[in-house]
């Protein structure tokens, strides 16, 4: 399929602000896309070359892209950098630069969606010495065969800066409209198989029955079931009656997929972290009695001597580490606390009541000191629940989970089947979308950060405040190093930051405000921690802010 057909749709979508109209445009387009191209087209519309659970990453920075553009256009890198600063959009710079590119290719090929995907797949797998030159070669090959308009969107896609406003909500509704389906059926299918291309192909060729047949596949992660925040233990017990309380560990949600002698580990963001936790792989092989299973738990970093839990930041060093894994295993040991099983010996168990799943989990695991079931209590009474909560806090944990014993497992949903309770003011998980360089002594650091809520319909972000106080010099230095590679443009001291990082933010109050695009502002926001376990799609939404304001 010609790539220009897709970029024509991109251009149309950029000129539309209404959600319903955008949904119509996407729906009409995908109805005409051939089966063999549909999966890639849906990924590209969403602004990514790979499914969310894929371990492939492009890792291309603006500097490398400028080198590729210089090679194709004949313009000096300094000239291109000036244009980037002027326009604030490297995609528009690519389009302008390639309008007058020299005709160096006698046998220019028609650029296809498949060719773009092929080159990006190869690019993502390059590592080691000489890989930078090879990456530039794959990019220049695409740009050499691209029209100026095509190049605008190729560059934005590679850099993760597509910005056409098409989020999961629009993709879901467009698939539903194109193939005359209930959006809730499409949504459930995506939560079971988080790949819009696969969902769209099934919807097109097998309809509603095909999507309803979706079950768990071992080795391919499902979206995790999410918890709501409880106001109190009393309110949670009143809502659900008999409940199971579990310790809420300050770690990372882990989805363990075992199929005979093969184990895969995924985070709640669907990242593959199998290589980072070889001891968990070994424990899963040795202590999960089922031949095939999908089990959920929380992996927690612990102190070498006392075995008490360590803050999440210690665990994040394990998650990020790509090399010298053995050294990190010894330096930062972990424990796994298991709490659910949703697949067992060839059968999808997500429809069972939680009480039955917990019993099955108990029967399926030989517990050890570091690979065990999460500590729990089943009760209907407030007093023992309060004692359990206090015990969890005394042990150094975050709080408790309160779970409905009759509830099935609902991937990707916050449906009131479980609550989380922590003894702190309810915080918000917000995406960093901008910043301002400091002044004087702090001029070399980003001194304040623009915070935004996530809009799941458009895939965009709505500003809700700036955080500038309470950060130490050490924190400012570390955060600046984190965000420097994510700066996409700068005007004066203000920078635009690629939305990749989530902050957990505490605050004094939520106020209505015309200053920010969300319509609200946070009073005295302050950083609790960087949520390295969360993707931007898991950040809090405007709807959640409004619900909290009503409370």
pLDDT, tens digit, 9 for 90 and up, residues 399-422: 899 999 999 999 987 777 899 888
What pLDDT does 28 receive?
Answer: 95
CB 254 within 8 A of CB 296: yes
Catalytic residue among 248, 349, 420, 498: 248
Percent residues over pLDDT 70 in the chain = 97
Residues of the chain with CATH 3.30.470.30: 228-421
* Residue of 436, 452, 458, 432 whose CA lies nearest to 520: 452
Instruction: Answer yes or no: pTM beyond 0.85.
Output: no
Average pLDDT over residues 468-496: 85
Residue 71's H or E segment, with its range, is helix 62-73
pLDDT at 56 exceeding the cut of 90: no
Q: Per CATH, which fold does 3-159 belong to? A: DNA ligase i, domain 1 (1.10.3260)
> Residues 124, 267, 163, 500: is their CA dihedral positive or negative?
negative
Average pLDDT over residues 217-222: 92
pLDDT at 304 exceeding the cut of 60: yes
Give the confidence band of 108 by pLDDT, cuts at 50, 70, 90: low
Residues of the chain with CATH 2.40.50.140: 428-550
Tokens at 382, concatenated: 């407030």
**Could you give phi then psi for residue 476, rounded to 5 degrees?**
-60, -40
Average pLDDT over residues 216-240: 88
CB 223 within 8 A of CB 196: no
What pLDDT does 106 receive?
Answer: 39
3-state helix, strand, coil split of the chain in percent (to 5) is 40, 25, 35
DSSP for residue 82:
H
The gap from C-alpha 155 to its chain's centroid, in whole angstroms, comes to 21
DSSP string across 390-453: HHHHHTT--EEEEEETT----TT---SSEEEE-SS---EEEEEEEEEE--GGGTTSEEEEEEEE
CATH of domain 428-550: 2.40.50.140
Instruction: Quote the radius of gyration of the chain (alpha carbons, Å).
Output: 24
What pLDDT does 398 receive?
Answer: 83
Residues of the chain with CATH 1.10.3260.10: 3-159
Please write the tens of the pLDDT for every residue from 248-301: 988 889 999 999 999 999 998 888 899 999 999 999 999 999 999 999 999 999
Give the confidence band of 103 by pLDDT, cuts at 50, 70, 90: low
Within 8 A by CB and 6+ apart from 63, the residues are none
Percent residues over pLDDT 90 in the chain = 51
pLDDT at 431 exceeding the cut of 70: yes
The span from the CA of 120 to the CA of 75, in Å, is 24
pLDDT at 107 exceeding the cut of 60: no
Catalytic, 390? Answer no
Owner of token pair 């630069």: 97
Within 8 A by CB and 6+ apart from 302, the residues are 308, 309, 310, 333, 334, 335
Q: Would you say domain 228-421 falls under CATH 3.30.470.30?
A: yes
């Amino acid at each position: 399929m010609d790539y220009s057909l897709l970029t024509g749709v991109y251009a149309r979508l950029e000129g539309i602000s209404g959600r319903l109209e955008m949904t119509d445009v996407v729906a009409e387009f995908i109805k005409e896309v051939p089966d063999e191209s549909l999966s890639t087209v849906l990924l590209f519309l969403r602004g990514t070359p790979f499914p969310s659970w894929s371990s492939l990453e492009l890792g291309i920075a603006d500097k490398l892209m400028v080198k590729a553009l210089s090679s194709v256009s004949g313009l000096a890198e300094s000239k291109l950098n000036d244009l980037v600063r002027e326009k604030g959009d490297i995609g528009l710079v690519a389009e302008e630069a390639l309008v007058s590119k020299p005709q160096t290719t006698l046998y220019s090929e028609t650029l296809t969606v498949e060719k773009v995907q092929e080159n990006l797949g190869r690019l993502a797998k390059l590592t080691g010495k000489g890989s930078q030159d090879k990456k530039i070669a794959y990019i220049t090959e695409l740009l050499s065969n691209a029209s100026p308009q095509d190049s605008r969107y190729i560059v934005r896609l590679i850099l993760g800066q597509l910005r056409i406003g098409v989020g999961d909500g629009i993709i879901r509704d467009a698939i539903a409209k194109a193939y005359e389906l209930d959006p809730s059926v499409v949504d459930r299918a995506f939560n079971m198989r988080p790949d819009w291309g696969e969902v769209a192909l099934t919807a097109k060729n097998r309809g509603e029955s095909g999507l309803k047949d979706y079950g768990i596949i071992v080795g391919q992660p499902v979206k995790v079931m999410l918890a709501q925040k409880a106001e109190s233990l009393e309110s949670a017990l009143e809502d659900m009656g008999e409940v199971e309380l579990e310790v809420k560990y300050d770690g990372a949600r882990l989805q363990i997929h075992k199929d005979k002698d093969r184990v895969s580990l995924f985070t709640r963001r669907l990242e593959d972290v199998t290589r980072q936790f070889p001891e968990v792989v070994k424990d899963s092989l040795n202590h999960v009695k089922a031949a095939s299973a999908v089990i959920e738990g929380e992996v927690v970093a612990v102190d070498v001597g006392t075995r008490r839990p360590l803050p999440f930041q210690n665990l994040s060093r394990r998650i990020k580490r790509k090399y010298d894994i053995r050294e990190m295993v010894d330096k930062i040991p972990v424990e796994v606390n298991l709490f659910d099983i949703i697949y067992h010996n060839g059968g999808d168990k997500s429809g069972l009541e939680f009480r039955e799943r917990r019993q099955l989990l108990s029967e399926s695991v030989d517990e050890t000191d570091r690979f065990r079931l999460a500590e729990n209590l089943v009760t209907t009474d407030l007093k023992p629940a309060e004692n359990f909560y206090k015990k969890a806090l005394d042990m150094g944990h975050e709080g408790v989970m309160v779970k409905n014993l009759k509830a099935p497992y609902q991937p990707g949903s916050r449906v009131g089947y479980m609550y989380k309770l922590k003894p702190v003011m309810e915080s918000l998980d917000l995406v960093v979308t901008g910043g301002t360089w400091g002044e004087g002594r702090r001029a070399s650091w980003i001194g304040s950060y623009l915070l935004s809520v996530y809009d799941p319909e458009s895939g965009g972000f709505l500003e809700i405040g700036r955080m500038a106080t309470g950060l130490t010099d050490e924190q400012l230095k570390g955060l600046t190093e984190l965000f420097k590679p994510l700066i996409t443009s700068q005007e004066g001291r203000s920078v635009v930051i690629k939305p990749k990082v989530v902050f957990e933010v505490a605050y004094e109050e939520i106020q209505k405000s015309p200053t920010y695009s969300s319509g609200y502002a946070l009073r005295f926001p302050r950083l609790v921690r960087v949520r390295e376990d969360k993707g931007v799609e898991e950040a809090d939404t405007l709807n959640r802010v409004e619900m909290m304001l009503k409370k």
